[in-house]
């Protein structure tokens, strides 16, 4: 459809020039118009090719995301991780953990919640699940550009190292004549981002220590 409009525009200009040409010779204004519209047409084609993939529209608005985050917290605190699959970002297994203690450490200002579930049976595997709320801007999902924290198990220390990120986004929106009828707003932006939770499944006799994390033992 855009191409059709472009062809129509080109035709209109061509016709105008041709019509004008019957009175006078082509002057620089005609060329200025032709060059300008050509640049606009080329830009239109280039935009389709060069800009990022169309970002997906996340479900719902601010309230839906807040509710989702709240229910995620509730489900994790009750150990109902089967209900939290939607927010699962990463799953890591540390097999055959033989130490008697596990120290979970993070950067002082990380401040994230770590839920711990002690396994019922004999199992020496430490399982880690990283859950998170996606990054959305005005309901559009930009989660793919968020860098996940580095999680390492060295000896008896599980360290969580979040990565500082300054994200600069440029978003091309519809013009006002379109927004007037689609109901989009150029003001009142809303974000949802950044909340992440770690859920650990550890052997039942493991002694846990926490440094700079809020540890919450799940009582199933």
Residue 43 in contact with another protein, rule: CB under 8 A? yes
Binding mask 87-116 for another protein (x = CB under 8 A): ----------------------xxx-----
Rule CB under 8 A: which of 3-22 touch another protein?
5, 9, 12-13, 16, 19-20, 22
- Separation of alpha carbons 30 and 35, rounded Å: 9
Output the six-digit token pair for 142.
Answer: 């930009």
Query: Of the candidates 92, 109, 117, which has an alpha carbon nearest to the alpha carbon of residue 194?
Result: 109
DSSP 84: -
Q: Segment contacting another protein (CB under 8 A): 70-78, 95-103, 114-122, 132-140?
A: 132-140
DSSP 57: B
CB nearer another protein, residue 120 or residue 181: 181
203: left (phi over 0), alpha (psi -120 to 50) or beta: beta
Strand order in the sheet with 191-192: 140-141, 136-137, 191-192
Chain positions contacting another protein, by CB under 8 A:
1-2, 5, 9, 12-13, 16, 19-20, 22-24, 27, 29-30, 32-33, 36-37, 39-41, 43-44, 46-47, 50-52, 54-55, 109-111, 135, 137-138, 140, 142, 146, 162-178, 180-183, 186-187, 189, 191, 193-194
């Amino acid at each position: 459809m855009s191409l059709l409009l472009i062809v129509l525009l080109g035709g209109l200009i061509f016709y105008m020039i041709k019509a004008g040409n019957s009175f006078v010779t082509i002057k620089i204004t005609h060329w200025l118009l032709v060059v300008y519209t050509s640049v606009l047409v080329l830009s239109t084609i280039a935009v389709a090719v060069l800009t990022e993939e169309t970002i997906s529209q996340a479900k719902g608005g601010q309230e839906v995301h807040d509710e989702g985050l709240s229910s995620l917290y509730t489900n994790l605190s009750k150990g109902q991780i089967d209900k939290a699959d939607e927010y699962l970002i990463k799953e890591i297994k540390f097999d055959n953990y033989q130490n008697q203690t596990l120290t979970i450490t993070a950067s002082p200002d990380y401040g994230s919640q770590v839920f711990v579930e002690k396994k019922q049976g004999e199992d020496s595997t430490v399982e880690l699940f990283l859950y998170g709320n996606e990054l959305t801007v005005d309901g559009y999902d930009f989660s793919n550009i968020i860098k996940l924290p580095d999680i390492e198990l060295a000896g008896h220390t599980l360290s969580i190292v979040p990565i500082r990120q300054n994200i600069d986004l440029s978003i091309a929106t519809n013009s006002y004549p379109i927004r007037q009828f689609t109901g989009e707003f150029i003001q009142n932006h809303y974000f949802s981002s950044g909340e992440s939770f770690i859920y650990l499944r550890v052997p039942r006799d493991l002694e846990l220590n926490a440094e700079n994390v809020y540890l919450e033992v799940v009582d199933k």
